[in-house]
Amino acid sequence: MKPVKLVIIVMLCISSGIAYSQGASCTNPHVMALDTVSRNYTVSPTSGNAAHCNMSGFSGTGKITIFRFTTDAAGSCVLVHVSSSSPVQPVEIAMYTGCGGTGTCSGLQTQSSVCFSDGEGYWAPFEQYTLTPNTTYFLRVWTPAAGTLTLSATNYPPPNNLCSGASYISTVETNDQNACHKASAEVQPWQLCAFSLENTAFYTYYVETNGVSSIQLNNINCDNADLGADNTGFQIGFFVGSCGALSRISCTTGTGGSVSATTGWLTAGTQVFVAIDGNSGSNCSYTITAFNATVLPITLKYFTAWKRADANRLTWLTTSEKDFSHFEIEKSVDGVNYIRIGTVAGKGSDNRETAYSYDDNQIKPLQYYRLKYVDANGNYSYSNVLIVNRNDVTNTKVVFANKITSMLALRIIDLPADNVSITIIDNSGRQIRSQNVKINPGENSINLNTASIPSGFYYLMLSSENYKRTFSFVKS
């Protein structure tokens, strides 16, 4: 069974009594589930001007569609991918902190507004902006005309924003983006041939044979605020040594859809660290490849952790394995000293996606995890480091059947006395039903009549001052 991704909803808007269609105002916005699922939305009929972008394609009266999202307990970066269609047209995403009674967003965060002149790209808050935990924000999406928007969103603390989480690269092309990254304090701007750093990503590889090694960035697509044009390009620094004691060996800058950089002569087996930073804080998607680099025994698509009531569940996915033996799961309480807590066998050689999981039942408030990849010859390398903070986990239990018909019987156990907002939204983010209930200490039973709800997939959202969680269910 796939883990359920959590979406937290807190209502900040006060209804004005005016009826708006879904997404036409901040009092009736589309609810953006932070679950990585791509959903299509029809641009709303509300008219207005762009909030901040003033480059070509963003002038005049256009259409405005409003979304809302709520941060998790850690205030993690929220990463949104947007694309426009029917027609393809420019898109502006502007972030606001509040909603007025007239349905108009308030508290524009100018630096967190991004202009997508080609109608596609990644949005995240400005690199120096810190999202408040368990707080609702609004996204005002402007387009020149009616059409369709496709959005997906997720909580995304970037794993390779630190040297210790550097992503391994090789001759196998890797897809990545830097929208949620912040400026690194582990390297200096001059070490990347840069005047300043805004969104640093770290990579690493091992030199295969004596000689020059290099990296190639291709398919670069960048978006900025209103710099007059997409400022496409990167500043790149090469380092040897270890995290905390990096020594620069070379740096370069490049612009355009492809950028390459070389290290100079190095001996086989040297571990190289690469730090890249987008020009002028650009939010960029790209592919990255290393040459004269050892091919890893596996290609890891992701490595994540889920906080269950009685365990930390580690999940990861490989897209290829070659002469691979096994994974060793390592844990640390300080991020420095690791111990092995388990072993999971690999598939040997396989070019298909393979999902893995491991439950750590010996849990503490703060723990660090990493994977050790061991090939058939005993050679090994490490994954990025995951940090799991359980300070937001409560003992509250919510019990209900995830397949229902005419009634959703809900039991809420061990939640302190509170007023709880119960909201049902459909798979497109449209609110279906909402009600407030009074919760008493102990066990509470609540029956929700779902007879009139069409069959399909839904989210059940519970929100109070002390508890915020989202669950999924199927109405048949």
Predicted confidence (pLDDT) per residue in 174-213, tens digit? 888 999 999 999 999 999 999 999 899 999 998 999 999 9
Fill in the amino acid letter for 438: K
| Total of domains in the chain | 4
- Predicted confidence (pLDDT) per residue in 303-344, tens digit: 888 777 677 889 888 888 888 999 999 998 877 788 999 999
Q: Does residue 454 lie in a domain region?
A: yes
Identify the CATH number of the domain in which residue 463 sits: 2.60.40.2550
Q: Are residues 150 and 205 in the same domain?
A: no
Q: Does residue 9 lie in a domain region?
A: no
What backbone phi and psi angles, to 5 degrees, belong to 412?
-115, 120
Alpha-carbon torsion angle 55, 97, 31, 77, nearest 10: 80
Model pLDDT, residue 398: 79
Q: Are residues 277 and 332 in the same domain?
A: no
240 in Cβ contact with 192 (< 8 Å): no
Q: Are residues 380 and 280 in the same domain?
A: no
- Predicted confidence (pLDDT) per residue in 135-177, tens digit: 999 999 999 999 999 999 988 888 788 888 788 888 888 888 9
Q: Are residues 369 and 454 in the same domain?
A: no
Residue that terminates a domain, selected from 291, 323, 350:
291
Q: Are residues 178 and 269 in the same domain?
A: yes
The residues near 146 (Cβ < 8 Å, ≥ 6 apart) are 42, 43, 45, 63
- Residue among 169, 152, 229 at smallest CA distance from 428: 152
Confidence band, pLDDT 50/70/90 cuts, at residue 438: confident
Q: Are residues 366 and 447 in the same domain?
A: no
Q: Are residues 204 and 283 in the same domain?
A: yes
Q: Does residue 3 lie in a domain region?
A: no
Q: Does residue 316 lie in a domain region?
A: yes
- Predicted confidence (pLDDT) per residue in 238-266, tens digit: 999 988 899 999 999 998 889 999 999 99
Cα 53 from Cα 250, distance rounded (Å): 36
332 in Cβ contact with 368 (< 8 Å): yes
Identify the CATH number of the domain in which residue 316 sits: 2.60.40.10
Q: Are residues 121 and 172 in the same domain?
A: no
Residue that terminates a domain, selected from 245, 260, 291:
291
Token duo for residue 140? 């005002």
Q: Does residue 10 lie in a domain region?
A: no
Cα 295 from Cα 109, distance rounded (Å): 43
DSSP structure class, residue 376: T
Confidence band, pLDDT 50/70/90 cuts, at residue 225: low
State which residues form the domain around 468: 397-475
Q: Are residues 439 and 341 in the same domain?
A: no
Q: Are residues 185 and 273 in the same domain?
A: yes
Q: Does residue 25 lie in a domain region?
A: no
Q: Does residue 190 lie in a domain region?
A: yes
More confident residue, 307 or 34: 34
Q: Are residues 319 and 247 in the same domain?
A: no
Identify the CATH number of the domain in which residue 107 sits: 2.60.120.380
Average pLDDT in the 441-466 region? Answer: 83
Q: Are residues 188 and 128 in the same domain?
A: no
Token duo for residue 218? 């291709």
Residue that terminates a domain, selected from 139, 155, 171:
155
More confident residue, 361 or 225: 361
Q: Does residue 40 lie in a domain region?
A: yes
